[in-house]
Amino acid sequence: MNKPSLRRIKREATAQGLAIAAFELALERGMDGFVVEDVVQRAGYSRRTFANYYSCKEEAVATAVESFQNVEEAVSLLNDLPDGSTPLDIMYLLMKMQLTAEYLRRMRKLILLAKQYPTLEPYILSILRRMQTAAEETLRNLSQGKYPEGYTHLLVGAVFGAMSPLLDGSINVLLPGQSEDETAKAMTFDQYLDNTFHYLRNGF
């Protein structure tokens, strides 16, 4: 894969800077406590620049959970998979790469915010859908037509469905970086992920 252009790198940095500024303000003040002008002042950009990336502050806040980095590293790791790797192997690696400690912490905070401010919900769903679509495309490309049509769709849907209670905190899982004191008698994130893929490989 070709290295990203300098222009693309700058665009991603700008998008992420605006998103993180909006996310921080939402956590500090609540969604009703700031406006777009506050976001651009904190991030160091203009309102026009903000409008080039986001339609509203809600979209910017939600986008803070997306990772703009390590895309090339992810592609390299996937391309180096051993011959005979199954779609399940690929999905396991994707989840390990995408569900980082920082991503999980931000997503949980975002979902808690959305319970107070429902206007965030459509943007959260949009981000999750983009992640799911990207995973489906990755599986299709790497599988090269070896599996029936619809297989990757069902597999990715099952994996993301299993991750939903982890993201919204409805299941007791110790996230990376949390101490055991914070979440008593909880399985670790790695245990939860391994259990999920064990069931997917061997049936329920």
Longest C-alpha distance within the chain, in Å?
53
**pLDDT (tens place) for every residue of the chain, 204 residues total:** 445 578 887 888 999 999 999 999 999 999 999 999 999 999 999 999 999 999 999 999 999 988 654 555 556 666 677 777 888 988 998 888 888 888 888 898 999 999 999 999 999 999 889 888 888 888 888 777 788 878 889 999 999 999 888 888 888 888 777 766 655 677 888 999 999 999 999 986
Of the residues 64, 81, 100, which one is the last residue of a structural domain? 64
Same domain, 34 and 130: no
Of the residues 29, 64, 99, which one is the last residue of a structural domain? 64
**Kindly report the CA angle at 21 between 18 and 23, in degrees rounded to 5?**
110
pLDDT at 1: 44
How far is 45 from 68, CA to CA, in rounded Å? 18
Same domain, 50 and 102: no
Same domain, 37 and 96: no
Q: What are the angstrom distances between the C-alpha of 139 and each of 17, 29, 133, 143, 194?
A: 30, 40, 10, 6, 19
Same domain, 59 and 74: no
Q: Which residue has the tokens 């996310």?
A: 23
Same domain, 8 and 53: yes
How far is 25 from 41, CA to CA, in rounded Å? 11
Same domain, 89 and 33: no
Same domain, 167 and 104: yes
Domain enclosing residue 199, as ranges: 68-204
pLDDT at 183: 54
How far is 153 from 200, CA to CA, in rounded Å? 14
Backbone angles phi, psi at 174, to 5 degrees: -80, 110
Predicted model pTM: 0.81
Task: Provide the CATH number for the domain around residue 12.
Answer: 1.10.10
Same domain, 162 and 73: yes
* DSSP code for 174: E
**Side-chain half-sphere CA neighbours of 74 within 13 A:** 19
Same domain, 116 and 201: yes
203: left (phi over 0), alpha (psi -120 to 50) or beta: left
Count: domains in the chain: 2
pLDDT at 52: 97
Same domain, 126 and 169: yes
Of the residues 22, 42, 64, which one is the last residue of a structural domain? 64
Q: What sign does the CA torsion over 8, 11, 17, 18 have?
A: negative
Same domain, 37 and 88: no
Same domain, 115 and 28: no
Render 12-70 in DSSP notation, one character per residue.
HHHHHHHHHHHHHHHHHH-GGG--HHHHHHHHT--HHHHHHH-SSHHHHHHHTTS--S-
